[in-house]
Structure 1
Amino acid sequence: MSATLVLALAGLALLDSTSFGTLLIPIWLLLTPGRVRAGRMAVYLTTVAGLYFCLGVLLVLGADAVLRSVRAALADVDPTHFRVGQLVLGLIVIALSYVLEARVRSRSGTPGRMRRWRAAAMSGAVPDGGDEGGREARGGGARGLMSLALVATALEAVTMVPYLAALGLLANAGQNWQVTGGALAGYCIVMILPAVLLGAVRIAAHDRAEPVLQRINDWFTRNSAKALGWSVGGIGIGMALNAAVALLSPPA
């Protein structure tokens, strides 16, 4: 596996590490009053990483078959036409980034919903779909945290563009399953690493770390939609620029 591919996967994993499920919910867990319960963090993050890994294995299996079919279908396609298609797709991804940003902004702007998610994270329960004045969470303990991780991962399925891009790179790399599985596991570890590091700081510094975590939480709550838009848009810009450079470069 080349160094370029490793760096690309690491960058995409770090983008994924700033999502709602991999950073904001863990910060809420760390802001729970009293002593930090490392076991709750471990259950939640392990579940998230495991879900992403299992989903990645299934998608890479499908992507590998799809890529073989696509390569066969595009074998006789003019390279210029292929690059034009890549340019168009990059522009579509850039447009999609604005749509996703607007959707996340509209959803996160609902105070009742955010309070229910925060209450669910801090109690280790599943978010309740009832009204704001009703019961905010149901369930609890390890089972509730695992269910919360499942719900968070499912809700983020439509915003997994960095993850899908990483899976595409892995499927296109032509590595054996040992290397691909190891790279996918490493991706999932990097994806939860910032939350793990914040947890270690919170345990070591105790209440002194709480103001920092609160500032990160406030910033993330305000700017999560913009961060998503920039991350998805960055992928589209990269695709479009790569195609444009290829189209403008003289043939070898």
Structure 2
Amino acid sequence: MSTESLLLIGGLAILDMFSPAIIGVTVYVLLVAKKQQSRLLLAYLTTVALFYFCTGIFLMLGLDVVFDPIANALNSHSARLVMTIVGAILFIGSWLVPKKKTSGSPKPKSFSIEAMIALGFTTSLLEVATALPYFATIGILTSNHLAFYEWLPIIAGYNLIMITPAIILLGLHILFRRFMTTPLRKIQALFDKSTSSALSWVMFLVGLILLMNGGMI
């Protein structure tokens, strides 16, 4: 796999680091939960990472059947054209996403391991359909026709990168609990403003990356 493709996947993983649901739940638990914060968050983050990891494996094993005939039918010029068109649609659509207020990030029904696992599963299930960077990554891996042992660690690494900000916030809270309340409240306010703004930024950046990869920029 080329260095360019790996850098592109790394850029897409960095986009997914700023998931409003993951960071929103992390901040909420750190601010509100009185005990077992580490166990609660690790249960939630493990559930999310495993859900996306399993989804990635399922797509990688299933998409070959769909994409192989398409890849064989398209020459390089046609593939770049399709990539450019999709990138342009996402780029333009990012400016048209309506701005709307939200009621805040997802919250667990109770502070228990079971509730956090359930929250991780339900939020992942609801948001996986809009995981544009992840789907773009799966498409890149599929088009490179990698062996199982080559793409599996890439997907695992992608999902670890995705939950890295939450792990960092947890670590900072453990080390500097007294000083973290104000920064956490500011982060909470930022991510509670609008889910549409996060979606528009993801669409903008993924569209831009596809335009660059398609040769338009």
TM-score range, shorter chain: 0.7 to 0.9
Identical amino acids, percent of aligned pairs: 28
Alignment partner, residue 159 of structure 1: 130
Q: Which runs of 5+ in 2 are unaligned?
A: none
* Partner residue, 1:71: 71
> Do structure 1's residue 19 and structure 2's residue 16 form an aligned pair?
no
Equivalence map 1:100-179=2 (5 Å): 101-102=97-98, 105-106=99-100, 109-111=101-103, 114=104, 117-118=106-107, 120=108, 123-124=110-111, 141-179=112-150
Q: Contact conserved, 1:36 with 1:203, CA < 8 A, in 2? A: no
Structure 2 partner of 1:138: none
Q: Aligned residue for 1:90? A: 87
Q: RMSD in angstroms over aligned alpha carbons?
A: 2.3
Task: String of CA shifts for 1:17-65, please: whole Å, max 9, x gaps.
Answer: 2113321111111112534521101100000000000001111112222
Farther-moved stretch of structure 1 (14-23 vs 199-208):
14-23
Deviating runs (4+, > 4 A) in structure 1?
none
- Whether contact under 8 Å (1:30, 1:202) holds in the other structure is yes
2:154 matched to which residue of 1? Answer: 183
Q: Which residue of 1 aligns with 2:9?
A: 9
Instruction: Give the conservation status (yes or no) of the 8 Å contact 2:102–2:192.
Output: no
Letter of the structure 2 residue corresponding to residue 57 of structure 1: I
1:208 aligned to 2:205? no
- For residues 176-205 of structure 1, the C-alpha deviation after alignment (integer angstroms, 9 at most, x for no partner) is 111211111111111101100100000111
The answer to whether the Cα contact below 8 Å between 2:20 and 2:198 also exists between their aligned partners in 1 is no
Q: Does 1:235 align with 2:199?
A: no
Aligned residues: 217
Q: What code does the residue aligned with 2:91 have?
A: I
Secondary structure, aligned partner of 2:23: helix
Q: Give TM-score scaled by structure 1 length.
A: 0.77
Q: Which stretch shifts more, 147-156 or 14-23?
A: 14-23
Task: Report the TM-score when normalising by structure 2.
Answer: 0.88
> Which sections of structure 1, spanning at least 5 residues, go unmatched?
125-140, 247-252
Cα distance, 1:243–1:10 mapped onto 2, change above 3 Å: closer
- Tell me, what secondary structure is at the counterpart of 1:93? helix
SS for the counterpart of 1:175 is coil
Measure the CA separation in 1 of the matches of 2:84 and 2:33. 50
Larger-Rg structure:
1
**In the aligned structure 2, how far is the partner of 1:33 from the partner of 1:87?**
46
Superimposed CA distance per residue, residues 126-176 of structure 1 (whole angstroms, 9 cap, x where no aligned partner): xxxxxxxxxxxxxxx222111101111112123200110111111122221
Per mean C-alpha deviation after superposition, the further-off stretch among 180-189 and 4-13 is 4-13
